[in-house]
Chains A and B, each alone.
Chain A
Amino acid sequence: MITAGIDMGAKTIKVVIVKDNKIVARSMNPTGFEPVQTAEKTLEEAIKQAGISRGDIKKILTTGAGRKSIPFADNSVTEVTADAKGINYLLPSVRTIVDIGAEEARGISSDASGRVLDFSKNDKCAAGAGAFVESMSRALELTVPLMIEISHKSTKDAPINATCAVFAESEVVSLIHTKIDKADIAHAVHDAIASRVCSMVRRIPIEKDVALIGGVANNTAIVEAMKKHLGVEIKVPEKPEYVSALGAALLAAA
């Protein structure tokens, strides 16, 4: 059976196609201003990659912030349910999932079958999400990859106390003016994000193993900071930004 999962994310749309419980294609595009067309385009790219035709797909399930906007989908599922299913497929030992996307972060507690037991979300606060990293990289006049790289070279702690992205940006600007090393500022930014996310995740029971997924999981500096704040090892699956779409594809086949 061939199914597709579409993650209608705030910043990017991801598609995963699953055939007989195996991933056969992944594709991703920026969401842009025409999400339905982008979803269509991303799905077509994945279909091409899988070497199948559209008619071969038996069911399409959407997830993500814009999950209800896709007219050609069969049904939708929330990100929390999709995340739990996706990680259960990739890393079955995981019981706590931290998903940090562009605009939202969430913590999920799940059982051995991938069923959601509890969850917490940060809703509209940007200070614990990927968009904040990008905003801070602009303030530091660095690319995100470079900001991650220099963050690992930090030797001193620089304080960022603000709990709000807007005020944190002001603090970063102040730190720049006080000639604090960019590496230390970059490290402080990552640490602040991890601190906020971890305090939100602590609302649910944190049981091992713990996995970090979502686009931000590719940021090794945040992974390090998360380890420090949660005090546990963090597992990051391959291509962590596709976990929600994968979960949706798997649920479509269920």
Chain B
Amino acid sequence: MTTVTKYKTAPLKCWQKGKELRLEAYRDLATGHEQGKLMVLGCAATPYGMLAGLGDFVFLAGEPYGASVAADPPVSIPAMELYEAKGYARDMCGYMRNFLGTMFQDKYYFTGGPFPKFDFAWSVRHCPAGHPKWHQIVSEYQGIPMNYIDDETMLGTDGDQQARIDYVAGQYLDSIEWMEKITKRKYDDEKGIEAMRNYFINEGLWGEINLLNGAIPAPLDIKSMFALMPISMLRRHEKVAIEFLTELRDELKERIADKIAAVPNERYRMCMLTPPPWSFLKVFRYLENYGVVFAGTYVYLINSGEVKFLYDEGKVVPATPPEKRPGWKTMKNREDLCRTVARWRAEHPFQSHLETRKKEYVIMFKHWKANAYLLLINRGCVPMTTSMYDFQRDLNRQGIPTSMFEGNFADCRDIDETGVLDRLETFLEGQGIQKIQSL
């Protein structure tokens, strides 16, 4: 019989505070205008702290909203059916389909009240699969202006990086003028700089929190990680997020010191590259019956979080805020702000070339002390699926076991839960891991 080490476990002390902060963010999204705040729509990777120069604002990042709807099939299915009835394709971004469906229903998921009316859409064009199209549809439907920052060019590894930074910084400068024009507000550079400083600190904290899960036993389970992520995803321009993420980080350090586990029977560690299937998060709880803990997922390490990869040493460490890095300037004015953000984006792992990502995946695998990667061929997200077979081959070549499944991360109708569980059970059996109750 297999011996299963039992660790101590305890709920997170800051859990309730995290839930309240998350709820507050969602509530603000419903009442932003009543509070006199600007309502802005964009992608989660947008450096939305810059918006603070216009005054108080609420930023709705479409992806976490779409994920929340997708995780609730009774809400998600009718929303997507309405989206499809309007003639939009089923093979578009899964988040977008849930978002637009509830917009067409005029139902805001978190309150059941009317869908938020935005003042404008402002975003980086980080997702080539259709996010610009997504916001264009909202823009036309709500009659709001939109502006996009083209920074996809950052994904290149050759050419003139300085020219790229100049190109993107110029767009940020132009977009601030554009925002002043459409909102008729004067942009306060100091406020924009301060909010972006918070944003950078929060990205670093979230990255560090992810890295702490390299401890054995892992102090945080992935489902709780997903639940707390909206604070970093939606509020990373705020001081309150810094306070909370610092508290969470310190608590995780205490848990590590006291060997307090998220999964008490941890004996097999996995990690992912992509978001999970949101309607099927119970898969993580189910796998805990096998003693499987998910230490993290690469995508949320670098989307709303930042770390620094030391490629030559094969290591990863917490990121320091840009202004504290050697050779970076202190932001003093709007030009500094735009250039810092452009350079920061250019050097952020979020923009890593696919070949560089392969190295990062291996570094994270080792850092998280994982036994295997779980890979998703995501029918609901083209960029997240691009090169997945190539990644799998590369990981396997380096002796890293992988289990792959196919399904849509945001459409519960397009994932075979029984099939996925069967596949995972088969994989774990091959790894010598059986359900603990059946031992």
Q: Which residues of A contact B (CB under 8 A)?
A: 75, 77-81, 115-119, 121, 123-124, 203
Report how far A75 CA is from B425 CA in the complex, Å. Answer: 13
7 additional A-B pairs beyond A78-B429, A80-B430, beta carbons within 8 Å, are: A78-B422, A116-B426, A118-B396, A119-B426, A121-B426, A123-B406, A124-B416
The answer to whether B429 touches A80, judged by C-beta atoms less than 8 angstroms apart, is yes
CB distance from A207 to the nearest CB of B (A): 14
Name which residue of chain B comes closest to A205, CB basis: B396
Name which residue of chain A comes closest to B420, CB basis: A123
What are some 10 contacts across the A-B interface (CB < 8 A)? A78-B426, A78-B429, A79-B426, A80-B429, A80-B430, A81-B430, A116-B430, A117-B430, A121-B423, A123-B419
Report how far A124 CA is from B405 CA in the complex, Å. Answer: 12
Name which residue of chain B comes closest to A74, CB basis: B438
Report how far A71 CA is from B429 CA in the complex, Å. Answer: 21
What count of chain B residues pass the 8 Å CB interface test? 13
Majority DSSP secondary structure for residues of B touching A:
helix
Name which residue of chain B comes closest to A106, CB basis: B426
Report how far A117 CA is from B427 CA in the complex, Å. Answer: 9
Report how far A26 CA is from B220 CA in the complex, Å. Answer: 49
Name which residue of chain A comes closest to B428, CB basis: A78
CB distance from B178 to the nearest CB of A (A): 47
Q: Which of A115, A121, A124, A203 contacts B430 (CB 8 A)?
A: A115
Majority DSSP secondary structure for residues of A touching B:
mixed
Report how far A123 CA is from B404 CA in the complex, Å. Answer: 12
The answer to whether B430 touches A77, judged by C-beta atoms less than 8 angstroms apart, is no
CB distance from A73 to the nearest CB of B (A): 11
Provide the B47-64 mask, 1 if CB < 8 A to any CB of A, else 0: 000000000000000000
Report how far A75 CA is from B439 CA in the complex, Å. Answer: 9
Provide the B393-430 mask, 1 if CB < 8 A to any CB of A, else 0: 00010000000001000000000100100110111011
The answer to whether A78 touches B425, judged by C-beta atoms less than 8 angstroms apart, is yes
- Interface contacts (Cβ under 8 Å), in number, total 32
CB distance from A61 to the nearest CB of B (A): 11
Report how far A117 CA is from B422 CA in the complex, Å. Answer: 17
- List residues of chain B with CB within 8 A of the CB of A79: 426
- List residues of chain A with CB within 8 A of the CB of B416: 123-124
Residue of A77, A78, A115, A119 contacting most chain B CB atoms (<10 Å)? A78
The answer to whether A124 touches B425, judged by C-beta atoms less than 8 angstroms apart, is no
Report how far A107 CA is from B347 CA in the complex, Å. Answer: 42
- List residues of chain A with CB within 8 A of the CB of B389: 203
CB distance from B283 to the nearest CB of A (A): 16
Report how far A75 CA is from B406 CA in the complex, Å. Answer: 28
Report how far A78 CA is from B421 CA in the complex, Å. Answer: 11
7 tightest Cβ-Cβ pairs between the two chains A and B: A116-B430, A78-B426, A80-B426, A81-B429, A123-B419, A78-B429, A78-B425
CB distance from A137 to the nearest CB of B (A): 27
Report how far A123 CA is from B423 CA in the complex, Å. Answer: 9
Report how far A78 CA is from B432 CA in the complex, Å. Answer: 12
- List residues of chain A with CB within 8 A of the CB of B422: 78
- List residues of chain B with CB within 8 A of the CB of A123: 406, 416, 419, 423
Name which residue of chain B comes closest to A109, CB basis: B430
- List residues of chain B with CB within 8 A of the CB of A121: 423, 426
Provide the B151-176 mask, 1 if CB < 8 A to any CB of A, else 0: 00000000000000000000000000
With known contacts A123-B416, A124-B416, A81–B426 Cβ distance under 8 A: yes
- List residues of chain A with CB within 8 A of the CB of B430: 80-81, 115-119
- List residues of chain B with CB within 8 A of the CB of A124: 416, 419
- List residues of chain A with CB within 8 A of the CB of B396: 118
Residue of B406, B423, B427, B430 contacting most chain A CB atoms (<10 Å)? B430
- List residues of chain B with CB within 8 A of the CB of A116: 426, 429-430
Report how far A203 CA is from B405 CA in the complex, Å. Answer: 13
CB distance from B297 to the nearest CB of A (A): 23
The answer to whether B429 touches A77, judged by C-beta atoms less than 8 angstroms apart, is yes
CB distance from A45 to the nearest CB of B (A): 27
CB distance from A214 to the nearest CB of B (A): 16
Contact residues, B110-154 vs A (CB, 8 A) = none
Residue of B389, B416, B422 contacting most chain A CB atoms (<10 Å)? B422
CB distance from B195 to the nearest CB of A (A): 47
Report how far A121 CA is from B427 CA in the complex, Å. Answer: 11
Name which residue of chain A comes closest to B389, CB basis: A203
- List residues of chain A with CB within 8 A of the CB of B426: 78-81, 116, 119, 121
Report how far A74 CA is from B425 CA in the complex, Å. Answer: 17
CB distance from B2 to the nearest CB of A (A): 14
Name which residue of chain B comes closest to A77, CB basis: B429
Report how far A80 CA is from B429 CA in the complex, Å. Answer: 9
Contact residues, B361-407 vs A (CB, 8 A) = 389, 396, 406
Report how far A203 CA is from B423 CA in the complex, Å. Answer: 15
CB distance from A152 to the nearest CB of B (A): 35
The answer to whether A75 touches B419, judged by C-beta atoms less than 8 angstroms apart, is no
Residue of A119, A123, A124 contacting most chain B CB atoms (<10 Å)? A123
- List residues of chain A with CB within 8 A of the CB of B438: 75
Report how far A117 CA is from B431 CA in the complex, Å. Answer: 9
Name which residue of chain A comes closest to B425, CB basis: A78
Report how far A123 CA is from B426 CA in the complex, Å. Answer: 13
Name which residue of chain B comes closest to A117, CB basis: B430
Report how far A78 CA is from B423 CA in the complex, Å. Answer: 9
- List residues of chain B with CB within 8 A of the CB of A203: 389
Name which residue of chain B comes closest to A76, CB basis: B438
Report how far A118 CA is from B426 CA in the complex, Å. Answer: 10
Report how far A116 CA is from B427 CA in the complex, Å. Answer: 9
